[in-house]
Amino acid sequence: MSPLNILIEARPFCIFDDTPMQELKAAGLHLTDMRGSGVHDSRFTTALQTADIVLCGNDLRVDDTLLEASPRLSAVAKLGVGLDTIDIPAATQKDILVFHTPGTNTQAVADHTFALILSVARKILFCDRSLRENRWEHTKIMGVEIWQKTLGLIGLGAIGQGVARRAKGFDMKVTAYDPYWPEAFANAHGIERMEVETLLRVSDIVSIHSPLTPENRGMINAKTLSLMKPGAFLINTARGEIVKEADLYQALKEKRIAGAGLDVFEHEPPVDSPLLTLDNVVLTPHTAAFTEDALKNMSRSIAAQILDYVRGNRPRHTVNTDVWEKSRERHAP
């Protein structure tokens, strides 16, 4: 039997430690390393025709067109937690297994969330720019304290929980909305459950930690922003499409909310975004998950799951388990 072909597209895979790559090679797998490439590259589309597994990141859109161009594909291995770039129903219909790496970047994103909160609250970038421009404005630039303020989390999964734990170190009151409420964690950490509208009204800082879904696309818009306090901040390290940027821009420009910290955008990179012109927003280029620790964790996790898959075991973080069950039934003695 010829070795399985793995087409590697995910740019961050093994950039700090190639041990997971070597483990895949040692298992007899054939690797086509096209990290950072994609469907615009004719060599990539040619490689798709013989790929059994695609290891992808956030750049590759795994849609019906790509799946049709991959006649041998049996699995999609996603480096990271977000699945909005993968058409799960289309993959499932074609009996293509999808698995990913939730939990591997939790601490990195939670850290970055607090970096944005503190940067916005204390106007860190404005202070830095002022000094670099030879201005000494130590009594002019006024920030706000986050000590004992109310933090509202939209999403209380692994990352939301990480942010909640950090917030307790600032003696913050934490409220949250999540349709899949983690009762035990919330009770243990004194987190009050609220609907989104109530959370927006009472929170001094609103931080988004939900996966992108049809239900929450555009959830933060002119109407919901109008519910927030004038002194409140909005933080988004989840997915840019959850926030309508044009509405957020108007709210920030007109000082209807005090500030925002964004790591994700509706269109990436946000080269034409009017948010780039505002002083009351801190922007980072979708780097919340990118720490050396997190990328090592992600690479180890996805490689281990690929090895499980090729050895006949279900990958730990399989998304469409029905595909796995159907496959087992077909191969049952």
Q: Which residues are the active-site residues? A: 239, 268, 286
Residue 315 DSSP symbol: -
User: What does the block give as tokens for 291?
Assistant: 């720490």
CA gap 194, 332 in Å, rounded: 47
Cα diameter, the chain: 77
155's tokens: 């999403």
Q: Write down the number of H helices and E strands in the chain.
A: 13, 12
Count, residues in the chain: 333
**CA–CA distance, 68 with 72 (Å, rounded to integer):** 10
Distance (Å, whole) CA 241 – CA 313: 35
Tokens of 324: 């796995």
| Rounded Cα distance, 67 and 65, in Å | 5
Instruction: Assess contact for 104 and 128: CB atoms under 8 A.
Output: no
Closest CA relative to residue 58, chosen from 81, 26, 74, 91: 81
Helix axes 292-310, 106-122, angle to 10 degrees: 150
CB-based contacts of 142, cutoff 8 Å, min separation 6: 123
Of 119, 113, 109, the closest CA to residue 280 belongs to: 119
Q: What is the 3-state secondary structure (H, E, C) of 290-304?
A: CCHHHHHHHHHHHHH
